[in-house]
Amino acid sequence: MEIEKLLKKIKNYSPEADLETVKRAYFYALKAHKGQFRASGEEYIIHPIAVADLLADLKLSSTTIAAGLLHDVAEDTKYKLSDIKKEFGAEIAFLVDGVSKLRKIRYQGTESQIENLRKLFLAMAKDARVALIKFCDRVHNLETLKHLPAEKRRRIALESAEIYAPLANRLGVGVIRTKLEDLSFPYILPNEYKELIARVKDKYEERIKYLKRVRPEIEKELKKEKIKNYQIDCRAKGYYSLYKKLAKYDNTLEKVYDLAALRIIVDDVETCYKVLGIIHKIWHPVPGKMKDYIALPKPNGYKSLHTTVICLDGKITEFQIRTFKMHSEAEFGIAAHWYYSEQKGLKAYIKRKISAPPEKEIPWIRQMKSWMEKNKGLASEQYLESLKIDFLSNRIFVLTPRGDVIDLPEKATPIDFAYAIHGEVGTHCAGAKVNGKMSSLSGSLENGDVVSIITDKHKNPSEDWLRIVKTTFAKNQIKKFLKKPSLPPEEIGFKKKNPIQRLLPKIKFPAKPAEKTQKLLIGGHSDLLFKMAKCCSPTPKDEVSAYLTKYNGASIHKNSCQNLKKLKDDFPDKIFKCEWEK
Ligand code: MN
């Protein structure tokens, strides 16, 4: 019987687990679902068991697995949530409630889908295990999707690929993300799926064979360097992820180097870098392909070293190097956190009532929770669209010149960045420098870009910005500003404790155009763009110096100007001697 297998599996990774509760949950679900069948014609109980089994693959505790066994009881049987609470306690009842749909009568169609998601997200914000149960539920439903009518298949597959897979990615549960994507793929894009499989199937096999030849080479070197405890895996890229990558590289398979990669897992960070050095010693690295996600983890917490080298037979090959802990976190993400925290104090933990996961580890969930509170008023469709962009889209890390990391959705613009730093910085954002170069405010930022924002207190948001920005926060701030009657900028609060001055201590002066006829030699150059600083309004009669701004060319000050003196102290290398051309 299946349940025995499940119990054995749990015992294997958690000898102290409370198997009694799991067993009770199983028999309760068996009784509750008696006489119910899946669309496949099988007895209903195979579904909760499959879900529990997937949860056990994530090495979750007996509490979560029991909730997985009971997850459809409150929604689909005569037993109510209160019955589950009486029988299994508040914690399990909370988890079951989190994944149960709302009563069907209240909403219809898309609205019901969105309301159900909203309910799930709120529960998930309180306890991330709700999401893990939902993921496993969805994986098994996708595995058995062929038994459902066609239009239902597509809707479920689409929701899985657009919402659940990105969510799993954000929570770092790599194994689940790949499953959700690859199981949905044939239903969302059937033709593309077939085409891709036909095209790459042989390639995959060929690559795996090749990596099996590379493996002993690397093992030999590891041995020489006395690295003993390691694990080497071949990892093949998921089909859906490959499909998306190909779309990015004009469909050229030859440009995808990580079709299959070798993964080397070792004890500690130090050894990771040592292994990287060993690989680079044997094979020549491809410039620009080395990624240090240990020093700079991905926004979802992913840590690893990636490098691409010209390997055996001159084939370009990717290696991923990480510690065992990083590996388990990359595969299980938030589930790994649960595993670690539950392993530490399993007994104490069981006694606890409904508990939130260790908060410091998932700040993103906290952000999402506060986002949901702030945007309660949005209409359903808009709510979902905004939520997708703000939280489920791929994320990029963008850096301030000081090295602070700002987490933004893909394709976010410098204006989004400015608002993410501070509302006031966004409101008066006049220009942006990306990696040292002037950039348009509407351009898309890329992961790892260093962005500095140039502000001007006279600059204000315009209607156009609403079409440019990606984040809901920026949108709301712009809308709020546009609704406000415009005040002279002096009254907006540019006093002593202005946040811009605090955050961006580079002093900016609004400048007015110079008289066209007058020419000025700045540091010996006559072709530089310049403007007269408003603070001292120099004329051709004055002795002047130039301060090289980031955005507006040079700003010209009288030599006697107090602001110039301050600038000289702060940025001596940006001050240049000037001469009026006669
Ligand atoms: Mn279910």
**Which of helix, strand or coil describes residue 80?**
coil
- The correct answer on CATH 3.90.330.10 for the domain covering 394-482 is no
Residue 254 phi, psi (nearest 5): -65, -20
Q: Which regions of 351-400 does DSSP assign to beta strands (E)?
A: 395-399
Distance from the alpha carbon of residue 236 to the mean position of ligand 1, in angstroms: 29
State the pLDDT at residue 494: 38
Distance from the alpha carbon of residue 48 to the mean position of ligand 1, in angstroms: 7
* H-type alpha helices, 160-252: 165-170, 174-188, 190-224, 239-248
| Residues in Cβ contact with 207 at an 8 Å cutoff, skipping those fewer than 6 apart | 236, 259, 260
Distance from the alpha carbon of residue 131 to the mean position of ligand 1, in angstroms: 13
State the pLDDT at residue 251: 78
Distance separating alpha carbons of residues 3 and 23, to the nearest angstrom = 8
Distance from the alpha carbon of residue 524 to the mean position of ligand 1, in angstroms: 75
Which of the listed CATH numbers 3.30.460.10, 3.40.640.10, 3.90.1300.10, 3.20.20.80 matches domain 191-332?
Answer: 3.30.460.10
Distance from the alpha carbon of residue 190 to the mean position of ligand 1, in angstroms: 25
State the pLDDT at residue 183: 96
Residue 446 identity (one-letter amino acid): E
- CA-to-CA dists, residue 42 to 142, 183, 525, angstroms: 16, 20, 83
Q: Which sequence spans correspond to the domains of the chain?
A: 2-173, 191-332, 394-482, 489-581
In DSSP terms, 530 is beta-bridged to: 554
Distance from the alpha carbon of residue 136 to the mean position of ligand 1, in angstroms: 9
Distance separating alpha carbons of residues 357 and 61, to the nearest angstrom = 13
Distance from the alpha carbon of residue 100 to the mean position of ligand 1, in angstroms: 9
| Residues in Cβ contact with 94 at an 8 Å cutoff, skipping those fewer than 6 apart | 123, 126, 127, 354
In DSSP terms, 43 is beta-bridged to: 37
Q: Which candidate in 43, 75, 115, 159 is catalytic? A: 75
Asked about 76 being catalytic, the answer comes back as yes
Distance from the alpha carbon of residue 134 to the mean position of ligand 1, in angstroms: 8
Cβ proximity of 439 and 470 under 8 Å = no
Which of the listed CATH numbers 1.10.274.10, 3.40.50.720, 1.10.3720.10, 1.10.3210.10 matches domain 2-173?
Answer: 1.10.3210.10
Distance separating alpha carbons of residues 255 and 236, to the nearest angstrom = 16
Distance from the alpha carbon of residue 141 to the mean position of ligand 1, in angstroms: 7
Distance from the alpha carbon of residue 47 to the mean position of ligand 1, in angstroms: 7
Distance from the alpha carbon of residue 315 to the mean position of ligand 1, in angstroms: 45
pTM score, two decimals?
0.70
Residue 308 phi, psi (nearest 5): -120, 125
Asked about 75 being catalytic, the answer comes back as yes
Q: Which candidate in 76, 115, 407, 579 is catalytic? A: 76
Distance from the alpha carbon of residue 189 to the mean position of ligand 1, in angstroms: 24
Distance from the alpha carbon of residue 120 to the mean position of ligand 1, in angstroms: 14
Pick the closest to residue 69 from 16, 122, 6, 153 (CA basis). 6
State the pLDDT at residue 507: 31
* Cβ burial 520-533 (10 Å sphere, 16+ → b, else e): bbbeeeeebebbbb
Distance separating alpha carbons of residues 43 and 64, to the nearest angstrom = 23
pLDDT by 10-residue block (mean), the chain, 582 residues: 88 90 96 94 95 94 95 92 95 92 61 76 82 95 93 90 87 90 94 91 87 93 92 89 84 79 95 96 91 85 92 91 90 71 47 42 68 76 78 79 81 94 91 89 87 89 91 90 60 41 34 54 74 86 83 81 84 81 74
